[in-house]
Amino acid sequence: IPVDPFDLVIFGGTGDLARRKILPGLYRRYYDGQMPEEARIIGAARSEMDADGFRDFVRGALDEFVTKRHDKKMVDAFLAKLDYVAVDAKGTGGWDALAKTMRDGVVKAYYFSVGPALFGDIADRLHEHGITDDDARIVVEKPFGHNLETARALNATLAAHFDETQIYRIDHYLGKETVQNLMAVRFGNMLFEPLWNAQYVDHIQITVSETVGVGGRGEYYDKSGAMRDMVQNHLMQLLCLTAMEPPSRYDPDAVRDEKLKVIRALETTGHDDIVRGQYKSREESYLEDVDNPGSITESFIAMKVRIANWRWNGTPFYLRTGKRMKERVSEIVVRFKEPPHSIFEEDTGQSANELTIRLQPNEGMDLTVTIKEPGPGGMRLIDVPLDMTFAEALGEEAADVPDAYERLIMDVIRGNQTLFMRGDEVEAAWAWTDPIIEDWTRREDRPYPYEPGSTGPEEAMILMHRDRRRWRELR
Ligand code: BG6
């Protein structure tokens, strides 16, 4: 279904995110017929160039990042929708021209694909030049602050000119197909929700492991580390959607209210329940990648988190994420408790049910169930997977879902904030993260080294073994 006609301005339109994600994503939505003919995309950045120059830039981006659906005619038609205005965020240059370009009677959306230091300036300029209306939307990217204080300041800056209903804070993990499917599975079936609590769930694991290192983004990353770069936002969002109470409706505030309650119920994680790591071998090291030989920033983190509420009291959540690990995988594993009593004498192989929700790769779900091993050998039990890989269950085409960014941008145009973070959510997440990071700073805590291409430091395994549990293996 096509969205309403819009003018989408991308500040930082010639930047890396625009080139890799935003513009290719918009093209794919156009190709799939979701973008109305009247839609326009306006690049805005400091560089002096004309619309044709911007089109050349975008053509290059599409050639590089669009593999499926690349069609010359469609690309030309898409490029015809583009325009460009050079603007100076700190000065007055270009803003009158931008104001003239914007049309009345269409949805106006402004994507701030720039560093947070410019958010305030751009918001001020838009306001001064009267280019926004009550229905205009702004889209902002992480990092949304560096801690609670800076996040509050950013929220205040945006709130000076925009209502919360106009602000779309992107966490691209919320745009991933399986993340939404998590809600569908939990609240669209009778099967899971009655068991989704401390009485039946032993523990939950959330893993986001990456094979890439931090090369190229060293300067940003070294100031952030895995905690700020991944845990405070992406893993936190996955945790919230897994742990939250059923919202009364699938509606932006109903969903976000429930997520906020989870964050507020998080206990501060003690030092003993956290393992930090930094990849290091003779050939490749984090320290060289960030060009900071004394850095004690973590590129890996594993932690045990507790949610202090009725539903989850006694069921820990284990989170882990890292760069330069063995495998690229994002998944949530819900490990159920073992049956309270075994009636079988030869109780081999029987273990607890495990529901795995795979975000990437091979998006889908997998539930292990215990059955009798077929054959005359008596009552021997084995675990078998009930595997639902979307591509297999629904066909490759149905599983060829939009990338997170394209889905989220279309939601902005539709005015649906469900998959965007509300200001209070972001602040609550920082309020939980800050004391943990402050504690490391106080202790001058040093991360454990781990081999690139491994599953992280040994200590992360011990964190689990201590509780007589195991991480799901990275293959
Ligand atoms: C970004 C982080 O937000 O998410 C990166 O800044 C990380 O460090 C990326 O690599 C992971 O996203 P995805 O979609 O590739 O899992």
What is the average per-residue pLDDT within 8-15?
A: 96
Confidence at residue 377, expressed as pLDDT on a 0 to 100 scale = 77
Q: How confident is the model at residue 350 (pLDDT cuts 50, 70, 90)?
A: low
193 and 246 Cβ atoms separated by less than 8 Å: yes
- Report the alpha-carbon distance of residue 446 to residue 182 in Å, rounded: 36
Task: For residue 467, say whether it is annotated as part of any ligand binding site.
Answer: no
ipTM > 0.95 for the complex: yes
What was the pLDDT predicted at 348?
Answer: 60
Q: Which atom, in ligand 1's list, is nearest to the CA of 142?
A: 3
For residue 173, the ligand 1 atom closest to its alpha carbon is: 14
Q: Which pLDDT value is given to residue 432?
A: 98
Which of 127, 129, 146, 234 is catalytic? The answer is: 234
pLDDT, one tens digit per residue, over 29-68 is 999 999 999 999 999 999 999 999 999 999 999 999 998 8
Mode of pairing for the β-strands spanning 40-45 and 6-11: parallel
CA distance 81 to 91: 27
pLDDT band at 347 (very low <50, low <70, confident <90, very high): low
Q: Take residue 72 and report the two structure tokens written for it.
A: 């010359």
Residue 440: count of CB within 10 angstroms of its CB: 19
Residue 387 has pLDDT above 90, yes or no: no
Residue type, 144: F
Q: What is the number of the ligand 1 atom nearest to the C-alpha of 359?
A: 16
Are 320 and 301 in contact by the 8 Å Cβ rule? The answer is yes
Determine whether the annotation assigns residue 13 to a binding site.
yes
Tens digit of each residue's pLDDT (9 = 90 or more) over 112-170 = 999 888 999 999 999 999 888 889 999 999 889 999 999 999 999 999 999 999 999 99
Tokens of 446: 């040093």
Per the structure block, which two tokens stand in for 65?
């990042």
Task: Calculate the CA dihedral of residues 238, 240, 243, 247 and round it to 10 degrees.
Answer: -120
Render 155-193 in DSSP notation, one character per residue: HHHHHTT--GGGEEE--GGGGSHHHHHHHHHHHH-TTTG
Those residues whose C-beta lies under 8 Å from the C-beta of residue 202, and which sit 6 or more positions away, are 315, 335, 336, 337, 338, 352, 469
For position 182, what pLDDT does the model report? 92
How far is CA 425 from each of CA 163, 303, 307, 366, 464, rounded to the nearest angstrom? 16, 21, 16, 30, 29
Ligand 1 atom 6 nearest Cα: 229
What is the pLDDT, as a whole number, of residue 134? 87
**In the beta sheet, which residues pair with residue 275?**
302
Whole-number pLDDT of residue 363: 85
The verdict on whether residue 19 carries a ligand-binding annotation is: yes
The model's pTM is 0.94
Q: How far, in Å, is the centroid of ligand 1 from the Cα of 232?
A: 13
Which residue type is seen at 440? W
Distance 333 CA to ligand 1 centre (A): 20
pLDDT > 80? residue 212 = yes
pLDDT band at 398 (very low <50, low <70, confident <90, very high): low
Ligand 1 pocket residues where CB is under 6 Å: 142, 172, 210, 229, 330
**Residue 340 CA to its chain's centroid (Å):** 37
Provide the pLDDT for residue 298.
98
Examine the pLDDT at 394 and tell me if it is beyond 80: no
CA of 257 to the centre of ligand 1 (A): 25
**Ligand 1 pocket test, candidate residues 65, 172, 228, most atoms within 8 A of CB:** 172
Q: For ligand 1, what atom is nearest to the CA of residue 404?
A: 14
Q: How far is the CA of 305 from the centre of ligand 1 (A)?
A: 22
pLDDT at 388 over 90: no
Greater confidence (206 vs 71) lies with: 206
Annotation marks residue 234 as catalytic: yes
- Tell which residue, 267, 356, 269, has the closest CA to residue 313: 267
- What confidence score (pLDDT) does residue 5 get? 96
